[in-house]
Amino acid sequence: MEEKGIDAPTPSFITLDDTKIYYEVVGKGQPIVFLYDSQLLDYRIWDGPFQHFAQSYQVLRFDPRGCGKSQASATAFSRSKDLFLLLQQLHMLPVTIIDLSARPALDFIHAYPDSVASLVLISPEVGMYKSFVEAMAKLPALLNDVVPIVKELKKGDIKRGCELCLEKMVITPSTVSPEVYQWMFDMVHAHIHLLMDPQEKGIKNPEKLTKQKQWLKDIRIPTLLLEGEFPTPTIQKTASIFEQEIPQLQKRIVPNSHVMLHLENPQGFANVVLTFLAEALL
């Protein structure tokens, strides 16, 4: 649904290393980019905030390589470099990042620290380890999280696989409206095959497994951390570390929400973020 007075975005592509990247940009004002970090999602995950925020800002959303409408890459690539080149092409630097997790934003601000004006991290879940050995020791537990989903997919029960994926996001008929639940189900259903055949071949950086916590102290821009009223334990742990390490971080709680705050409480989410931006981007 389009907001009053806002033109519909024009679907566009940028070609990077012979790979087409899908994006949409609309609005006028200081630039904002919306990010996500799951091949089960696509640019539509930001439908509501994208149009709402375009009333006051220039907003960009896009599908990284191998996600949504963007092509997969046959060779290794840097998602942060892709984003930088896209923002540079659109003359949207420096930019405010609104990230549905934290990983893409942290990687980008570490690689391009002068390119970010402010930062909004939503329900961040980032593993931070003291050593590579500790990180590898945690790997089996992380893989176990997806085992039930993969089992259902191998049996051919795509519906149950999608339901389990949504449960991990705490998207259930009790947390969102029936319309939003069906919309999310359809999105996940469109991409769930990627769990069995991942398309992403991004450059993997083992350094960040053990040094990402150190990177947090270097973030010296206005930062908003949003946590739901009912967060998962991993989100709580990550948020606690971020509060300790990021100098200019503010934390706010969005009532009546768990993980996908902008879907569970759209107005509460928008109010908190727009208030923060009005102060941070003076």
Residues 17-55: tens digit of each pLDDT? 999 999 999 999 999 999 999 999 999 999 999 999 999
Task: Determine contact, residues 9/76, Cβ cutoff 8 Å.
Answer: no
Q: How confident is the model at residue 208, as a pLDDT? A: 64
Any idea where the domains of the chain sit in the sequence?
12-129+200-280
pLDDT at residue 32 in the model: 98
What pLDDT, on a 0 to 100 scale, did the predictor assign at position 209? 60
Q: Report CA dihedral (225, 55, 11, 41) to the nearest 10 degrees.
A: 30
Helix (H) / strand (E) containing 123: none
Residues of the chain scoring pLDDT < 70: 1-5, 128-136, 138-143, 198-210
Q: Which residues pair with 99 in a beta bridge?
A: 35, 121
pLDDT value of residue 126:
84
Kindly indicate whether the domain formed by 12-129+200-280 is annotated with CATH number 3.40.30.10.
no
**Residue 1: what pLDDT?**
43
Please, are residues 232 and 258 in contact by the beta-carbon 8 Å criterion? yes
Query: Which residue type does 223 have?
Result: T
C-alpha to C-alpha distance for 7 and 87, rounded to whole angstroms: 20
